[in-house]
Chains A and B, each alone.
Chain A
Amino acid sequence: MNSITATNDFVIKFANVNGSGSASANEMFARAIIRMGVPVSPRNIFPSNIQGMPTWYELRVSAAGWLGRRGGSDLMVALNPQTWDRDVAEIVPGGYLFYDSTRELPPSKFRDDINVIGIPLTAICAKEFKDPNQRRLFKNIMYVGALAALVDIELSVIEDLLAQQYRGKDQLIEGNRNAARIGYDYAKAHFACPLGIRVERADGVGDRIFIDGNSAAGLGAVYGGATVAAWYPITPSTSVIEAFTSYCRKYRTDPDSGAARYAIVQAEDELASIGMVIGAGWNGVRAFTATSGPGISLMQEFVGLSYFAEIPSVIVNVQRGGPSTGMPTRTQQSDLLLCAYASHGDTRHVLLLPEDPHECFTFTAQAFDLAERLQTPVFLMTDLDIGMNERLCKPFEWDDSRRYDRGKLMTAEELEAGKDFGRYLDADGDGIPYRTIPGTHPNKGAFFTRGTTRNAYAKYSEAGADYIYNMERLRRKFETAKTLVPAPIATPAAEPTRFGVIYYGSTSPAMAEALTLMAADGVHVDALRVRGFPFASEVDTFVEDHDVVFVVEQNESAQLRTLLINEGDLSPKKLVRVLHYDGTPITARFIAGAISDAIDDRKVQPIQTSMNR
C-alpha cells in the first residue's frame, strides 16, 4: 500500500456526534496548527438538529495558504459509529483512519488500502477518570493529544492553548493538560509518529486572525455604532446577534452605572424585528437585524417602507440553502435577487458582499454609514460558509479619527436659521434629501412619515408629477450609491486574455486557488470580485473588455448574472454561468474544471467567431 505523505498539505476530517463537546476540541486542534505557523481552513458540516446527529469538522491544512474547501479526506477521525461506513469510504486511498478501538470491530468494517490507527479512548478514559462528565470531555482532549503526536504538532502548543482557554481555572487547565498528555504519550508509544502526513513549523500565517464571519459582523456592528438590534433566531444568523450581545457587554457597558449603551430585543418574528429596526432608525439611532432567507421573505413589506420612506436600516443576511426551509444548515448565495429587489413596486437596494470575516467586520461597520448617508436599507450578504466557520483573515483595523457619517441630518440650528426643509427635496442634486429626527426643534422640521406617495415637502400627494419627481430622485440616489459601496477588486491574469471571471463573497478563497490551478495549465483568466451593489462602472467595463466572462456563484439560477445583465445592459451571451449549489462550499477544483471545460468547448465551436467580433 502506498501511504500518503504530505507535509503541511492535507485534509483531516473529524466525524463526531452533535452535542458531544467535540466542537471546541476540534477548534483547538485547528488553532494548534495555526500556532505552528501553518494556514488551516476548517468547515463545520452539521445537520439541523441539536443532539445525537452526526456532525463533521473538515480541516484543510495548506502551506500554500488555500482557504477554500479541497474535498477528500487524508485522515479521518471517525468517532461516530452511525456514520462509520461512509466516513471510512471517504478516505483517500493510502490515507489514514483514526478511531476509538475500545470496542472491537470486524475486519469487514475496514479497508486494506488505508492505514488504521486504533486508540482505546473510552477505555483509557474509564481507567483515568471517575466522573462520567469528565470522561466524556477529556476524551475529546485526549484525541487531540494523540493526533498532535501523530501529525507532529508540539505538545507544548496544545498545552499553551489549554492554559489560555481556561485562564484562571487552574484545576481545569491541569485536568485537560493531563488528558492531552495521556493521548500524546499513548500515540507515541504505540505508533510510528509522525504519520506520512505531518505538520512542520512554518511561517505561513503572519499576523492573521482566526474568527468566524458572524462574530466579525457582530463586532462590526459595535464598531459601526449600532445601538439597537432586533432579531428572531434562525440558523445560520443567530450567532451574529450573540456576538453583538457579548461584545456590547464587554465594550458598551457604562463604566459608572453598569447600564447598557445598547438595546437588544428578541422579537416575536422577523416582521417585528425589521419594524423595530425601522422605528429605531427613524428615531435617529443605528439599528440592525440579522436573519437568513426565510426571515428576509417575511420582511419584504417593511423593506419597501424603509426604501420608500427613506429610513436607514441594516440587515445582515447570512444566506443558507433555499427555497423555503431548504437546506437550513448548508451554504448558498441564493438570496441575491431577493434582496436586491426586495418588496413590491419599483425597489432596489444596496448590497455589500464580504468575502471573509475581515470584510464582515469592515462592511458591517460601513453599512451603518451607508444606510444613514443614503437613508435606505443596506444588506450585508454573507453566507453560512463565511458566517459559521472560522477563517484566517487580515486583522481588524479601526481608524480612531474616523467619525460616523450620520448623513444629511438637519439640525435644530439650521432649522432655526430658516434653512428650507423639504423632507423629500433633492436639495443637493445627489438624490439624497435631508431628514430630521423626532424632537429636533419645537416648531420646525416635524413631518409625517408614510409609505404613501407625497410631495417633496412630505405632504400626501397622488399627483403624477410628485410621484415621478420622487422616483427619479430615488434613481439618482441609487446612482450616488454606486460611488459609495465598496469597489470591485480586479486580479489580472499573468498574460493578456479574452476571458474574464466575476464572482463574489465566499467563492473568494476557492477562486484564488482556481486561478492558480488554471494558470499552471496555461489557462489565463482575468478576475473581478464584486463587493457591492449597485455595481460600480468598473464592472461594466470589465465585461466589455472581455469576450467571455464566467460568472461563478453558488445558486442554481445564476442570480449574479441576472443582476449584471439587468443593471448593466450587458449581453447575456457573453456571460457564462458557472454554478455550484449542492449546499457544500464551492471548490477550486470545481471552478477550474468548469471554466477549463467551457473554454475547451468554445475553442471548437463557432461561437468563437461571434466572440471575436
Chain B
Amino acid sequence: MTYLAKPRLLADVQPKNALGFTRRDYEGAISTLCAGCGHDSTSAAIVQACFELDIEPHRVAKLSGIGCSSKTPDYFLGASHGFNSVHGRMPSVATGAALANRDLTYLGVSGDGDSASIGIGQFAHAMRRGVNMAYIVENNGVYGLTKGQFSATADKGSKSKKGVLNADSPIDLVALALQLGATYVARSFSGDKDQLVPLIKGALRHKGPAFIDVLSPCVTFNNHAGSTKSYDYVREHNEAVNRIEVIMARNAIEASYAPGSLRRVVQHDGSVLMLRKLGLDYDPTDRIGAMNHLHERNALGEIVTGLLYVDESAEDLHRHLNTVETPLNQLDDAELCPGNDLLQALNASLR
C-alpha cells in the first residue's frame, strides 16, 4: 500500500470535506519506506481519518520517535508541524507540547521498538499521566530501521528472517495501556483500512490518552513464514470484537442502524462512537472485562482487534493540573510577569 504522489490533475476532481479540503490536503512528502510496508497503509488511514473528520491540518501537531514508523509523520499532514524527536522519547515531547497548547490535536506515531523497547517507560507514563493525544504504535515485531532485530513485542517462539527463534516473552502494549489508565484502547491491522480509519478517528476525537496498536507488517524483515507479525499470520488470527463508526455530533445519523446490534458511546467532545458488535457480547466500557478478554483470547493464539476499551468520562492532564483554558503559549507578558511592585513587597519580606 505504498503511497505515491498522485498527479496534480486528479486533485480537482477529488471529493472535498466540509472545510473544502481534498484528501490530498492531508497528504505529506513522498514515502521513502519499502514498497508494501505496513506503515504506509497506516499513514493512508491517518490521512483518510483526518479528511473525514474535517480537521484543519495546521491544528494538528504530529510527533514521533525514531524508526521507519517514526519517519511516517513526514508522509502525511504536510501542512502540520511535525517533530521527529529521539528514539523512544516521543511521549515526553508530546506531553510538553500538549502542555504548551491545549487547543491543538496531538498525534504521536511510534514503533514497537520505539515504544515497547527503549521507550517503554515514557509510553507507560504518558498513558498514566493522561496526556490528551492519539498514540499510534506501528507494530511489526522488529526494528525495521536497524535491519530486522527482534523488538520487545516479538512473540515468544517467532522466527526471525535469519532463522533465529525469539526466546523472550512479548510485551503487549494494549494490555499495558489498559492497565496504565489509557482511556481509549484499540488494536487494528494496517491491512484492514475499514477497521483502522474509524479507530483513528475515534482516537483523534478522544479527550485523554488514546492508544492504538496497529499491526503493521515489515515486508523486508518480518513477513516470512514463522513470523507472527506477517500479513498472512495477522489475517488468519485476527479476531475483531467490534466495528466502529465515528459520528460527529452535528450530523448524527443513528436512525439508520438496526437496534440491538449497536452500542452507542458518546465522547466528551460530543462525537458518537457507534459500535457494531461482532459475534460475542463484548462491552468496551468494562476495563476489567477488556483485560480478561484480551488475555483469554491471547492464550488461544488469537489477535484481538477493535475498540477494546473506552472511558466516556475520560479526563486529561490539563484537567488534573487545573490549567487555564487559554493555551499557555498564548498568555501575554502581563499575565505571566507579576511586576516590580510585588517583587518589592517580596524583598521586604526577605529582610
- In chain A, residues 25-51, which have Cβ atoms closer than 8 Å to a Cβ of chain B? 34
Size range of the chain B interface in the assembly: 35 or more
Q: Which of A272, A277, A399 contacts B122 (CB 8 A)?
A: A272
Q: Which residues of A contact B339 (CB under 8 A)?
A: 398, 400
Q: Which residues of A contact B85 (CB under 8 A)?
A: 275, 278-279, 305, 451
Is B337 an interface position by the 8 A CB rule?
yes
Is A259 an interface position by the 8 A CB rule?
yes
B324 touches A397 (CB 8 A): no
Is B156 an interface position by the 8 A CB rule?
no
Is B346 an interface position by the 8 A CB rule?
yes
Q: Which of B82, B92, B103, B338 contacts A275 (CB 8 A)?
A: B92
Q: Which residues of A contact B337 (CB under 8 A)?
A: 222-223, 225, 398, 404
Residue of chain B at shortest CB distance from A206: B351
A514, B74: Cα distance in complex, Å:
59
A260 touches B323 (CB 8 A): yes
B96 touches A261 (CB 8 A): no
Check A285/B100 contact, CB under 8 A, given A267-B125, A268-B125: yes
Check A261/B328 contact, CB under 8 A, given A397-B340, A398-B343, A446-B58: yes
Question: Chain B 125-161 against A: per-residue CB contact (8 Å), 1 yes, 0 no?
Answer: 1000100000000000000000000000000000000
Check A278/B84 contact, CB under 8 A, given A225-B333, A285-B329: no
Is A228 an interface position by the 8 A CB rule?
yes
B93 touches A275 (CB 8 A): yes
Q: Which residues of B contact A251 (CB under 8 A)?
A: 338, 342
A442 touches B80 (CB 8 A): no
- In chain A, residues 436-464, which have Cβ atoms closer than 8 Å to a Cβ of chain B? 436-443, 446-452, 460
Q: Which of A205, A275, A399 contacts B89 (CB 8 A)?
A: A275
A446, B91: Cα distance in complex, Å:
21
- In chain B, residues 322-340, which have Cβ atoms closer than 8 Å to a Cβ of chain A? 322-325, 328-329, 331, 333, 335-340
Shortest B346–chain A CB gap in Å is 7
Is B3 an interface position by the 8 A CB rule?
no
A558, B56: Cα distance in complex, Å:
55
Shortest B316–chain A CB gap in Å is 12
Q: Which of B92, B96, B322, B325 contacts A271 (CB 8 A)?
A: B92
B328 touches A228 (CB 8 A): yes
Q: Which of B83, B95, B124, B343 contacts A223 (CB 8 A)?
A: B343
Is A549 an interface position by the 8 A CB rule?
no
B81 touches A449 (CB 8 A): yes
Q: Which residues of A contact B96 (CB under 8 A)?
A: 228, 230, 275-283, 287
Is A209 an interface position by the 8 A CB rule?
yes
Check A446/B84 contact, CB under 8 A, given A230-B96, A441-B58: no
Q: Which residues of A contact B171 (CB under 8 A)?
A: none
Size range of the chain A interface in the assembly: 35 or more
A399, B344: Cα distance in complex, Å:
11
Check A447/B122 contact, CB under 8 A, given A276-B92, A284-B101, A439-B58: no
Question: Chain A 199-219 against B: per-residue CB contact (8 Å), 1 yes, 0 no?
Answer: 000000101111100000001
Is B200 an interface position by the 8 A CB rule?
no
Is B175 an interface position by the 8 A CB rule?
no
Q: Which of A271, A276, A450 contacts B84 (CB 8 A)?
A: A450
Is A589 an interface position by the 8 A CB rule?
no
Q: Which of A261, A267, A442, A446 contacts B81 (CB 8 A)?
A: A446
Q: Which of A257, A279, A449 contacts B94 (CB 8 A)?
A: A279
Q: Which residues of B contact A284 (CB under 8 A)?
A: 100-101, 329
Is B321 an interface position by the 8 A CB rule?
yes
Q: Which residues of B contact A397 (CB under 8 A)?
A: 340, 343
Most buried by B among A211, A261, A263, A446: A263
Check A279/B93 contact, CB under 8 A, given A446-B78, A450-B84: yes
A437, B100: Cα distance in complex, Å:
11
Q: Which residues of A contact B121 (CB under 8 A)?
A: 268-269, 272
Q: Which residues of A contact B176 (CB under 8 A)?
A: none
A302, B83: Cα distance in complex, Å:
13
- In chain A, residues 266-308, which have Cβ atoms closer than 8 Å to a Cβ of chain B? 267-269, 271-285, 287, 301-302, 305
B58 touches A442 (CB 8 A): yes
A260, B56: Cα distance in complex, Å:
28
A268 touches B122 (CB 8 A): yes
A436, B129: Cα distance in complex, Å:
28
A301 touches B86 (CB 8 A): yes
Q: Which of B58, B59, B100, B350 contacts A287 (CB 8 A)?
A: B100
Question: Chain B 65-80 against A: per-residue CB contact (8 Å), 1 yes, 0 no?
Answer: 0000000011000111
Q: Which residues of A contact B124 (CB under 8 A)?
A: 268
B80 touches A279 (CB 8 A): no
Is A262 an interface position by the 8 A CB rule?
yes
- In chain B, residues 296-351, which have Cβ atoms closer than 8 Å to a Cβ of chain A? 317-318, 321-325, 328-329, 331, 333, 335-340, 342-344, 346-347, 350-351
Shortest B347–chain A CB gap in Å is 4
Is A495 an interface position by the 8 A CB rule?
no
Q: Which residues of B contact A278 (CB under 8 A)?
A: 85, 93, 96
Is B291 an interface position by the 8 A CB rule?
no
Is A115 an interface position by the 8 A CB rule?
no
Given contacts A205-B351, A262-B328, A267-B125, 17 further A-B contacts (CB under 8 A): A34-B351, A223-B343, A227-B329, A262-B323, A263-B99, A268-B122, A276-B93, A276-B96, A277-B96, A279-B96, A280-B97, A281-B100, A283-B104, A438-B58, A438-B101, A439-B59, A439-B103
A-B contact pairs, 16 of them (CB 8 A): A209-B347, A222-B338, A227-B331, A261-B331, A268-B121, A268-B124, A275-B89, A275-B93, A276-B96, A285-B329, A287-B99, A305-B85, A399-B340, A441-B58, A446-B78, A448-B84
Cβ-closest 8 pairs across A and B = A279-B96, A275-B92, A276-B96, A283-B100, A438-B81, A280-B96, A279-B93, A284-B329
